[in-house]
Amino acid sequence: MSLKTSIDLKKLPRHIAIIMDGNGRWAKEKGLIRALGHESGTTSVRTTVEACVELGVGNLTLFAFSTENWNRPKLEVKTLMQLLITSLRKEMNTMQKNSVQLKAIGNINHLPEKVQKELLHVIEATKENTKMILTLALSYGSRDEIVNATRQICDKVKNNIISIEKIDDELINQHLYTRNLPDVDLLIRTSGEKRISNFMLWQIAYAELYFTEVFWPDFKNENLYEAIINYQKRERRFGKTTDQLK
């Protein structure tokens, strides 16, 4: 029987974020080149997106390319950028069919123009979709995001648009790439690595962390269900005591 039936649909995480890791090791284990690991990972993206929509998860954010990933061999970066273009083209229909709205976070201007063009095209075409917001983190780094937000806020203070006293959690939130997205409830990382790798440091302040050994291309819907069930068993206290939660 599928684990799906054990999920409490009334207690779904509002926002799931995934660090999709292990494509290279998946390929290496099979004696394949890394590019084939990345390609295979796109299938997991599709099945995960569809599973989240079907369950009723409102927000899914996928870490697809980090600011640090620019330091990979030129050819690998090129392959990943090309794969992005083909996947966006291929998945547009699936997004429309499932009423998924696409967003992107990160230093999008750094992406090759062709990728930007395809990305903006799909973002524009899906902007009225309401079932789920799918956010791709591309050329994304949390420190870069915080630096960027700090500059914008300082600029507003300098030009007397806001006063220093107005700076609070909410104002900072509104200057991050993720403005308008709720905080992350469940953060999943595949491939066995137990680190955050500069992903949404601010937004995961109270997220539940879930690490699985499974490489991203092997990540199936059952693995997602397992993560959600595990999440639902946890007590989120947000600093309070258990008694206070009753």
Q: Does 66 bind ligand IPE (CB under 6 A)?
A: yes
Q: Does 69 bind ligand IPE (CB under 6 A)?
A: yes
Site size toward Mg ion, by CB under 5 A? 1
Q: Does 173 bind ligand IPE (CB under 6 A)?
A: no
Rg of the chain over Cα atoms, rounded to whole angstroms, equals 19
Known catalytic residue at 21: yes
Q: Please, which residue, 69 or 173, has the CB nearer to ligand IPE?
A: 69
Gap between the Cα atoms of 145 and 176, Å rounded: 6
Known catalytic residue at 8: no
DSSP assignment letter at 111: S
Please identify which residue in 21, 145, 185, 226 interacts with Mg ion, judged by CB under 5 A: 21
225 neighbors 2 (Cβ within 8 angstroms)? yes
Q: Which residue is nearest to ligand IPE (CB)?
A: 24
| Site of interaction with ligand IPE (CB under 6 A) | 19-25, 63-66, 68-69, 80, 191, 193, 195, 197
Active-site amino acid positions: 21, 69
| Site of interaction with Mg ion (CB under 5 A) | 21
